[in-house]
Amino acid sequence: MHYSIAEICKIVDGKLINISNRQANETFVDSLDFDSRKIKQGALFLPISDHDNASVHKLFSDYTIAEKDGHKFINSALKNGAVASFADHIVQTSLPLILVSDTQLALWALAKNYLNKINPKRIAVTGSNGKTTTKDLIASVLSRKYKVHRTVASNNNEIGVPTTILNMPADTEIAVIEMGMDHLGQLTALSKMLEPNISLITMIGEAHIEFFKTRDKIADAKMEIIKGLKKDGTFIYDGDEILLKERADLFSGEKVTFGEKESNNFWVSQIEDKKRLSFKVNQETYSVNLLGKFNADNCAAAVAVAKEFNLSSKTIQEGFDNLQITKNRLQLLTGSKGETIISDVYNSNPTAAIKAIEILKDFPTRGKKILVLGDMLELGDQEVSLHLALKAPIERAAFDEVYLVGPIMKSLAVKMQARWYDKAFLTDLSRDLQSSLSKNDVVLLKASHGIHLEKVERALI
């Protein structure tokens, strides 16, 4: 983005503090960030102070509760190069302030203004699993022909989506925006802000079942992504999922399905998952450097989007060949002893955990197969039973070694008589793994981010 401080103040209906009108018209902002540690020279700082917003809390997981008011970091932002900051109250600082009633609403107003100014084609992606990978696939394919901007990492909530929009280059032709949710109404608001040309749902799983209680209610929440869909827009979804099909039947707009049933518009078949995933979509053969047969469906979703933009199968394959996936999502890494590490340490839920177990089971190796599985969070009062349900797929896979991590996994460890570690003792887990691993082994790390298995990943590397 490129706005003067004065322009921003007018857009958000704010009041200028610590700066004259002339200086405000002559000082420009080129980026925005909510993290004072990462602020760039010439940036606008966004102090977040909504203590009741669970999604905002996740952005600040490294801070203590007392530090979650971003206004405490305005002077840090000044020191690191910010030229101005939003604020909902006057702070002792020399940094120019744009005083507003609500910093988050100001962020949304600015993002909406910039989105309409650049006016790219807009693709919204959500789903219980696979949304980040699918977003990366779509962006990689479309970037073969268009200038594409996509969500970085998983900045997919009320702060991440508008921040992603504001950091969009001025020459962007297509914006691929990931959207997450953990409560009703969240996707409605995000979708109405973005007004997508394409809304896409990858699948319905058990993620956030703590809040929604049933998969039916999760499906209702995911369907909110079409609330802001343009009248001539297209809804793309997993046609194998009955919960989506039932709800899509009530939608009168353009619909496109993908999946492994022949009735889908984009039919996936002949899936082979070796060290490179290969498959057919409508009899066209594709391959991609991803793990897991389920990723063939995510690729089919990307193909469906690409065909909306009239891309050839050759161009789509070029996009798959140049795929750069988001860190910590089923990455293949090499450990210090030459072992293969399959790292998926950002998020976990029962569906994703079972798929990861299947990946390790089928992974070709001459050495041991070692499973490291951590707690799956946000499962509510079903958490113990959903963790215990992993016993059968783990035992069927007959792994050489199984390590379970976290307080909820303790119940499964007792049932399986498996090794268990409290999440406070990841150093012990890393040491025990290193003493067991050798060159030809493969180890899978899978857990919700709150268990912090990325520390084990780093130790092994």
Residue 128 annotated as part of some ligand binding site: yes
Distance CA 312, CA 428 (A): 51
Residues 6+ apart with CB under 8 A from 163: 32, 33, 34, 46, 107, 111, 155
Distances 248 to 116, 226, 264, 304, 363 between C-alpha atoms, Å: 28, 10, 13, 17, 36
Residue 68 annotated as part of some ligand binding site: no
Within 10 angstroms of residue 269's Cβ, the number of other Cβ atoms is 14
Least Cα distance to 162 among 115, 228, 100 occurs for: 115
Residue 131 annotated as part of some ligand binding site: yes
Distance CA 299, CA 457 (A): 27
Residue 53 annotated as part of some ligand binding site: no
Residues 6+ apart with CB under 8 A from 46: 32, 33, 34, 70, 85, 86, 103, 107, 159, 163
Kind of pairing between the strands at 277-281 and 284-288: antiparallel
Indicate the burial class of 210 (C-beta count within 10 angstroms; 0-12, 13-18, 19 or more). Answer: middle
Yes or no: say if 31 and 1 are a contact pair by the CB < 8 Å rule: yes
CA quadruple 252, 258, 261, 265: dihedral, nearest 10: 60
The edge-to-edge listing of strands for the beta sheet with 97-99 is 15-17, 97-99, 84-87, 43-45, 31-33
Q: Which residues pair with 97 in a beta bridge?
A: 17, 85
Question: In the 8-state DSSP scheme, what is residue 222?
Answer: H
Residue 252 annotated as part of some ligand binding site: no
Q: Annotated binding site, which residues? A: 127-133
Q: Annotated binding site for ATP, which residues? A: 127-133
